[in-house]
Amino acid sequence: MEDIFESSLHLEETHFEEGYSDGYKHGLVIGKEEAQQVGLRVGFEAGEELGFYRGCIEVWNFAIRVDQTRFSDRIQKMIKQMEELVEKYPVFDPESESVQELMEALRLKFRAISATLGMKLEYNGYPKMGQDPKEMGF
Amino acid sequence: MELYEGGCDLKLLETLEGHGDRVWSLAWNPATGASGTPLVFASCSGDKTVRIWEHTPSPSATWTCKAILEDTHTRTVRSCAWSPSGKLLATASFDATTAIWENVGGDYECVSTLEGHENEVKSVSWNSSGTLLATCGRDKSVWIWEMQPGNEFECVSVLQGHTQDVKMVQWHPTTDVLFSCSYDNTIKVWADDDDDWQCVQTLGEPNNGHSSTVWALSFNASGDKMVTCSDDLTLKIWETDNVQMHSGDGYAPWRHICTLTGYHDRTIFSVHWSSEGIIASGAADDAIRFFVGNKDGLVDGPTYKLLLKKEKAHDMDINSVQWSPGEKRLLASASDDGVIKIWELVSSSTGNGY
């Protein structure tokens, strides 16, 4: 007698728990899909930017080998420093705390080098220096 | 400091018109005003040009516009600065570039353009030896450039640190230490360790700093004191240990020694410390004020008092006040009203500078 009434007394609670459990399972699936997409996109963007800097460094290094006198000591030092930064970027550890810092430092070095070389080259993928990170929408 | 017995006045010598928009800034050519060389200064404006003005001494004793530097900047020219030798003029513009001009037989030629800032460049400053140039802007960064042979400039460093628009940069008068002030209410001090530039000190609210935008800063002649002006309606005096500064470490910390409050009721946009120790301020209430310090053996350090207030010096906000080089107490002021005025601080009794 008690059992029959038990289930109808706790009806609301049961429904709630069922609904919660359904939602949670659904959320896990959707969340994972979304996270995967975001991860792929962010990873791609970071990789693209990093690749761009690597490419620039390779071209510059080649130019230096061709004619070293055209590049001052300071510029050569800066390019070397930029190269070190690219090497240091933790490509396999996206959750490392230094990713943001390293990318910022790379962007700064790139701006300084291109300003001195008089190049108007710009990487179109990243947000402008003066932009508030909160303004960026994903 | 008793400048003149019986007090002093600010006498208007001349009003210079010509710019087609607000005049933002002025800079006196440091190589003029002595040994017979007539005084020269540059003014820059919202009309995208820079004008060079020269003083013609007696008999007419007037100022004429000797050159107009135009067709180069595509937006407002916000700031200008002469190299210590007086041979080069740097102009900073809202078009994100800084132009370097050379006086070639009376004509000014643009010999170099420095690009790099993302947007409006707000200020430019040469170091005491003329080898380094600093610029700052709305993109919150400070750039340091080194002059190379052939008027080429190499970027030494891009400094991030300020969290808002940087309003002014100024090199220390005797050492290669750079100061910047910003919309973020702080003043930052930058020094280098073999080309590696870092922010070595930040003067903010915790250090008795300003509570609103810091618009300008100026050093006294010996470089051991600095005055800053702000939107918080105060002037603040800071001090450092000059001996330590020159000892080879290159940098000594700055500390607040005095706040001048209650003298201004609108934003103070410009402040300049004369070689004799008179502080001039230009504010949004169209007035120019003068302050002097007296050190007479006070335990807590010098106190500063208001020497003179010139109301309605201009019809609109005063953007810049600059003391001239040379012996006379001349001051130039620039305003939103598009006009430049040349003043002399004179004795009330004689009406002259003596």
- Walk me through the domains of chain B, giving residue ranges and CATH numbers: 10-345 (2.130.10.10)
Do A115 and B157 count as a contact with CB atoms less than 8 A apart?
no
Candidates A75, A111, A128; nearest CB to B116: A111
pLDDT surpassing 50 at residue A133: no
pLDDT surpassing 80 at residue B353: no
Give the per-residue pLDDT at B67.
95
Residue B99 has φ and ψ, to the nearest 5°, of -105, 145
- Global pTM value: 0.87
The answer to whether residues B22 and B326 touch, using CB atoms and an 8 Å cutoff, is no
pLDDT surpassing 80 at residue B6: no
A111 lies within 8 A of chain B by CB = yes
pLDDT in tens, B252-270: 899 999 999 999 999 999 9
Does ipTM surpass 0.95 in this model?
no
Searching chain A, which residue's CA lies closest to the CA of residue B144? Answer: A112
Residues 6 or more apart from B149 whose CB is under 8 A from it? none
Do A130 and B139 count as a contact with CB atoms less than 8 A apart?
yes
Candidates B141, B154, B158; nearest CB to A72: B154
Domain total for chain A? 1
Do A112 and B115 count as a contact with CB atoms less than 8 A apart?
no
Do B195 and A74 count as a contact with CB atoms less than 8 A apart?
yes
Query: What span, in angstroms and rounded, lies between the C-alpha atoms of B316 and A17?
Result: 70
Residue B64 has φ and ψ, to the nearest 5°, of -125, 150
Q: DSSP label at B209? A: -
Is residue A3 one of the residues assigned to a domain? no
Q: How far is B42 from chain A (nearest CA, A)?
A: 27
In this prediction, residues A40-46 reach a mean pLDDT of: 90
Candidates B116, B118, B157; nearest CB to A128: B118
pLDDT surpassing 50 at residue A136: no
Give the per-residue pLDDT at A95.
81
pLDDT surpassing 90 at residue B219: yes
Tokens linked to B109 = 């030629």
Give the per-residue pLDDT at B242.
75
Give the per-residue pLDDT at B7.
84
Tokens linked to B242 = 């000059």
The answer to whether residues B39 and B329 touch, using CB atoms and an 8 Å cutoff, is no
Query: What span, in angstroms and rounded, lies between the C-alpha atoms of B227 and B222?
Result: 13
In this prediction, residues A42-59 reach a mean pLDDT of: 93
**Which of B148, B155, B166, B195 is the best mutation test for A, with the most CBs of A within 10 A?**
B155
pLDDT surpassing 70 at residue A134: no
pLDDT band at residue A129 under the 50/70/90 scheme: very low
Do B160 and A108 count as a contact with CB atoms less than 8 A apart?
yes
Tokens linked to A47 = 């990789």
Is residue A2 one of the residues assigned to a domain? no
Give the per-residue pLDDT at A94.
78
Averaged pLDDT of chain B: 92
Is residue A47 one of the residues assigned to a domain? yes
pLDDT surpassing 90 at residue B301: no
In this prediction, residues A81-85 reach a mean pLDDT of: 95
Tokens linked to A51 = 């690749």
pLDDT band at residue A119 under the 50/70/90 scheme: confident
Give the per-residue pLDDT at B250.
61
Is residue A1 one of the residues assigned to a domain? no
Q: DSSP label at B149? A: G
Q: At A67, which amino acid appears?
A: D
pLDDT surpassing 90 at residue B295: no
**Which of A69, A71, A74 is the best mutation test for B, with the most CBs of B within 10 A?**
A74
SS3 state at B337: coil
In this prediction, residues A31-46 reach a mean pLDDT of: 92
SS3 state at B167: strand
Give the residue with greater pLDDT, A125 vs A136: A125
Domain of A20 in residue numbering reads as 9-136
Q: Is A83 exposed, middle or buried (0-12, 13-18, 19+ CB in 10 A)?
A: middle
> Could you tell me which residues of chain B have a Cβ less than 8 Å from any Cβ in chain A?
114-116, 118-119, 138-141, 143, 146, 148, 153-158, 160, 195
Is residue A4 one of the residues assigned to a domain? no
Which residues are bridge partners to B14 per DSSP? Answer: B342
Give the per-residue pLDDT at A138.
40
Residues of chain B with pLDDT > 70, as a percent, come to: 96
Give the per-residue pLDDT at B1.
44
Residue of B144, B165, B111 whose CA lies nearest to A112: B144
Tokens linked to B318 = 């005063």
Query: What span, in angstroms and rounded, lies between the C-alpha atoms of B111 and B93?
Result: 16
